[in-house]
Structure 1
Amino acid sequence: MHGSASSLSASVSSWLLVLLCAVSGAYCLRRVRGWGGAAAGEAVMGFGMALMAVPLGDGGAWRAPVLGAVFCVAAVHALWLLRGGAHHAHHLVGSLAMVYMAAAAGAGGHGQAHGQGAGLPLLTGALLLYYAGYVVLGGTQLITAAGPVPAAGPGPAAGPRPAPVHATSTELVRACRLAMGMGMLAMLLSM
């Protein structure tokens, strides 16, 4: 009974990760017209992460080599975009991390979920530190982007409440990047 509950929990978390990454990829795909190459790279990353997180059981033997090839191309694309700014270095690290996880999944045998496999502990640890820092930094930037939150008064007599703040495009981009960073962190933790 305990084994099936653990398996169900892993399956639910896998599908939640798939959903998170697919929604992020779809939002980035929607931004491609306005942002160009950077948004396209983020869309590929989001959909690739979603595909890698799908719990296929033993039917996913094709997944590691295909994703490895896709993310090798994405790494070359990020390297090309790197000449336009340092932000693209993160895309390069992400693409190479996905290549690494796909290779580890392929080396670890069939049926490995989330890129689980026989990875190199030192490289996995370095990537975990990078993405933990990225998520913490991204989260603090997202929180501080809206400015300070006004203190609440003692009750309804304190006056009218401010209108709700709607997320701007920049905040949505940050939230999308943060979501994909958390997805990367989750996949690396499962290695």
Structure 2
Amino acid sequence: MHGPAQAGWLLVALCAATGSYCLLRMRSRLEAQRRTAGEEALMGFGMALMALPAAVLAPPRWAWLGYAAVFGAAALRTLWAARRNRHHLHHLVGACAMVYMAAAMAATPTAHAEHGGGGTPALTGALLLYFAGYVLVSGVRLLPAPVLATAEGGGTVTGWADRTELAMACRLSMGIAMIAMLLTL
């Protein structure tokens, strides 16, 4: 996307780190967790690629169309998965937002280098409101909850792939990154 180079690099680092952790989460014992982690890894790495500063990479128009095609396919797959789990609706909105941003950049390929606007203000505003609400709700869910004391040895040990608080933190960071990307559109 466009914006200051330092902010772009921070966004790339955040999204790549989130995508990397989501790849680790794909080692979960639960299939639903693995599937969700895969969707989130695709989103994280896709956002990292799209956030590369224009000074480093000014993709041609066909690259933006490629992003739109990949995330369009992800949106269709997520739409199918949303029949079983409503959490996939958020992934659907995220994939559609990525398609929208890629299509806006494809429509105005010089906007990436010139820091110009490329999207529809009403749709951009609606997506900003959605992701701002998602970030606020996700942040509240991360607040510490009172923990009941358990007997020694009675707790269960979970691996990195099954740490729900880390998965929620990743979702929160990707929501914040999505807001940053939409603001630069």
TM-score bin (small chain): 0.7 to 0.9
Residue 127 of structure 1 corresponds to which residue in structure 2? Answer: 127
Higher relative contact order (CA 8 A, sep 6+): 2
The structure with more helix, counted as a fraction of residues: 1
Residues of 1 paired with 2:58 and 2:128: CA distance?
Answer: 28
Q: Distance in 2 between matches of 1:116 and 1:16?
A: 20
- Residue 96 of structure 2 is matched in structure 1 by 96
Residue in structure 2 matched with residue 187 of structure 1 by the alignment: 181
Percent of matched pairs sharing the same residue: 52
Map of 2:59 onto structure 1 = 60
Q: Hey, what's the Cα distance between the residues in 1 that align with 2:167 and 2:91?
A: 14
State whether residues 45 and 95 of structure 1, in contact with CA within 8 Å, keep that contact through their aligned partners in structure 2: yes
CA 1:104/1:117 → structure 2, altered by over 3 Å: closer, same or farther? farther
Amino acid at match of 1:138: S
Q: Secondary structure at the match of 1:72?
A: helix
Which residue identity is paired with 1:59?
A: A
RMSD of aligned alpha carbons = 2.3
Aligned twin of 1:3: none
Give the TM-score normalised by structure 1.
0.79
CA contact (8 A) 2:58 2:112 kept: no
Check conservation: 1:37, 1:81, Cα contact below 8 A. no
CA distance in 2, matches of 1:73, 1:116: 27
Q: CA deviation at 1:10?
A: 0.7
Deviation at 1:92, TM superposition (A): 0.3
| Alignment correspondent of 1:18 | 12
Q: Which residue of 1 aligns with 2:156?
A: none
Counterpart AA for 1:14: G
Residue segments in structure 1 that go unaligned for 5+ positions in a row: 1-6, 149-166
Matches of 2:69 and 2:23 in 1, distance apart? 20
TM-score (norm. length: structure 2): 0.81
Shift of the alpha carbon at 1:110? 3.0
Greater radius of gyration (CA): 1
